[in-house]
Amino acid sequence: MHELSLAQAVVEAVAERTGGARVTLVRLEIGRLSGVVVESIAFCFDLVTEGTALEGAVLEVGEPPGRCRCRGCGTAFETGDPLVLCPACDGADVAVLSGRQMLIASVEVESACAAPAAARSTATPDAGPDTTTGSGPDPEAATGSGPGTNPDARPGTTTDPVAAGPSPSSSGSWPATTTSPSSTGRGWPGGASSRST
């Protein structure tokens, strides 16, 4: 059967282009002047798709009419009759412009759903501090504002930002007032308890 070989060719072409993905819909365009019986194509399609990625796929067939032009009188017309005659002059010298094609118009495949974001993200027990949010052992140092805390310093002591060097904030300027009393009650060098810069 002519339609059987055509259906087999369609299935092989679709399977090759989709890479084994499950196909749910195949749309064909078969011109009315092609001589292909659409009912036979549909029957053979169900047979040849068994055991393939196209099994169970829906087949949709569009049948556009033939477009022709008479070479004798120049009349352009459409027809679905395989015996093409000019309706104006009954001439048989007719050029068929379209209507004999058989095309795979489109294919739809079944795509797997993406995993939820919560399922894709996994917690790492030994992960370090999250510096993007400023969390961790030194949040002020992570954001770049205010006096930082020295993790190697003894308990009860703080680091003098003047002695440690400039530490501008994220906006490029110091805070209006910085206070850093020591554990012994002494203030900044020079006796000042606070320093405005």
**Residue 44 annotated as part of some ligand binding site:** no
Distance CA 41, CA 10 (A): 10
By the 8 A CB rule, do 45 and 82 touch?
A: no
By the 8 A CB rule, do 194 and 176 touch?
A: no
Query: In this structure, what DSSP letter does residue 188 have?
Result: S
By the 8 A CB rule, do 25 and 57 touch?
A: yes
Angle between helices 2-18 and 38-48 (to 10 degrees): 50
Query: In this structure, what DSSP letter does residue 182 have?
Result: -
User: Which token pair is 65?
Assistant: 């009419």
**Residue 68 annotated as part of some ligand binding site:** no
Angle at 181 between CA 195 and CA 158, to 5 degrees: 110
- How many other C-beta atoms are found inside a 10 Å radius of the C-beta of residue 14? 20
In the chain, the amino acid numbered 195 is R
**Residue 2 annotated as part of some ligand binding site:** yes
Annotated binding-site ranges for Zn(2+): 70, 73, 86, 89
Annotated binding-site ranges for Ni(2+): 2
Annotated binding-site ranges: 2, 70, 73, 86, 89
